[in-house]
Amino acid sequence: MIALLIILAYLIGSIPTAVWIGKFFYNIDVREFGSGNAGATNTFRVLGQKAGIPVLIIDILKGSLAVSAAFLSHYDFVSDEFINLQLVLGIAALVGHIFPVFAGFRGGKGVATILGIVICILPLSCCLSLLVFIIVLFASRMVSLSSMLAGISFPFFLHFVFYNTNSILTIFSVVVALLLIVTHRKNILRIINKQESKIKFVNKKSSV
């Protein structure tokens, strides 16, 4: 039963939202443009808000749905076994998003899917990390830097603010932070070289 849930979570994570929406509605594979990633940020960059918003929402829901599959197990909902299963299913979905079987194992970086996972398991720590993301985004206008710093802050909030005692949760939070750094290694090089793209909050219109 557990093995089937893990496979199900991986398949849910493997739904290549950005690729399918790009190809079906725009006849474009977003992986061939922009950063080359099949994620929400690159979809916003390549196809705009009309494509980016649904990709973002669905990618978040993928993580949440995969974690929610734990309710199909026989574990008590407040037990450590249940939480650990949620983590395993979340990781399976994240692996699916990064290496999707439905899109030649070329996926995204998993930021939105991670959000969907942790908001179900650790909502308070997640909200504080989201606050870090928003502050850094407004300060730097770089989604990549905001994502990495939010991910790095996650285990600190979990351990030092909420005094987590579940070692599996601690390991998971550290893995999430490290994974975000690994998947953003090209962005790190661009940030160092001051070549990382920045988002625009307001479109400036030239006066007539």
Residues 6+ apart with CB under 8 A from 47: 21, 22, 26, 28, 30
pLDDT at 57: 96
Angle (nearest 5°) at CA 74 between 71 and 77 = 50
146 to each of 82, 86, 142, how far by Cα in Å? 31, 26, 6
Task: Tell which residue, 135, 180, 179, 177, has the closest CA to residue 155.
Answer: 177
pLDDT at 203: 53
Specify whether the CB–CB gap between 182 and 174 falls below 8 A: no
Band (pLDDT 50/70/90 cuts) for residue 123 is very high
Q: What is the pLDDT of residues 102-120, one digit of tens each?
A: 999 999 988 899 999 999 9
Give pTM, 2 decimals.
0.83
